[in-house]
Structure 1
Amino acid sequence: MNETKDLKFYLKLFSSTFTLSAFTFGGGYVIIPLMRKKFVEQYGWIEEEEMLDLTAIAQSSPGAMAVNAAILIGYRLAGVPGALLTVLATVLPPLITLTVISCFYTAFRDSRAVSAVMKGMQAGVAAVIADVVVTMTQAVARERSVMGWLILFGAFFASTLLDVNIVLIIFCCGVLGAARTLWQRRRKGRA
């Protein structure tokens, strides 16, 4: 998408990102599959494999994953103006929500209805995270890569059975993924 963008494109990018951020609860693991559905499936602005790459970069970068993903997607679609626009659209809804909540904090704190809604959201967030795991596993399966499966299962076992610090797991997976990509590029260069 290197062509010049018009105002209609920027408005669509802003409104899509703003809406996703406003109606998504649970952080980056929840908003990423929704971004994928919007920007890959619905609009066709980004390819599936590229979205997986952007997700991996967003996860391994410091900061909030939803903001990182928004910056990367915005930059990919429209350069620096797109990145600025999508990061603004991503942070505005939580900022507005937190401002309103802080004004009425004592009323919210003791409300049984708010507590019940939060409990219900936990179940929804768990379902969306499960969807992310299934989607990413399907992508690895389509790739038919032994290294991809080794990284996937190695990270799973290291985090669940060996109780290895997640930062170390992310770092190791990043190094292995980078080495795999370099190896594949060199192999393609020789062919």
Structure 2
Amino acid sequence: MARNLNPKCRQCRREKEKLFLKGDKCFTEKCAIERRNYPPGQHGQKKTRMSDYAVQLREKQKIRRIYGLLEHQFRNVYKQADRQKGVTGENLLQLLEGRLDNVAYHMGFGASRSESRQIVRHNCILVNDKRVNIPSFQVSPGDKIEVAEHAKKYIRIKSSAEIAKKRNIPSWVEVDSDNLTGVYKSKPERGDLSSTINESLVIELYSK
């Protein structure tokens, strides 16, 4: 399976904002954005004027990196969102947020999306009491998500759940951190999602 092996902190610096790819480190002073808030490379601190296409491309790359998708995976999600009724941009974000690895991350079963993806891959997550090891699996409203019994003893999962108690849990999920279970209550509304994401730029890019 293809993976993005680029350094995570370097990806955040490229987009000049925190993408929360490193879990706990992103909330400390060791975060690369806190220390060097400019793109990597010898020309990183040079101010350049970006074209409309460059702005659209950077936004697409940022969203891809946040959710940990490769180009062909992201394009397939966009095509699916475009086929659905409603606003394509909102559909796109709802499909990304509804991925099993992302839901597990929001519930605190992993410190980051990449760690949650690994947990899903290693058969540690149950959906409605059935084992699912596909990170892109689309969770439906009302689905019960829980950590498998054999994985509840893993220190990393338990520590992630403890840390998740201190951060804001999204309103569209309900979590019992002590028992490592949760419910995906509903699809998130656009107002509940990050205001730093401008999905309309992605729609403009792919509509050309």
Fold match (TM-score > 0.5): no
The TM-score, its normalising length taken from structure 2, stands at 0.26
The structure in which a higher percent of residues are helix is 1
The TM-score, its normalising length taken from structure 1, stands at 0.28
The structure in which a higher percent of residues are strand is 2
Larger radius of gyration: 1
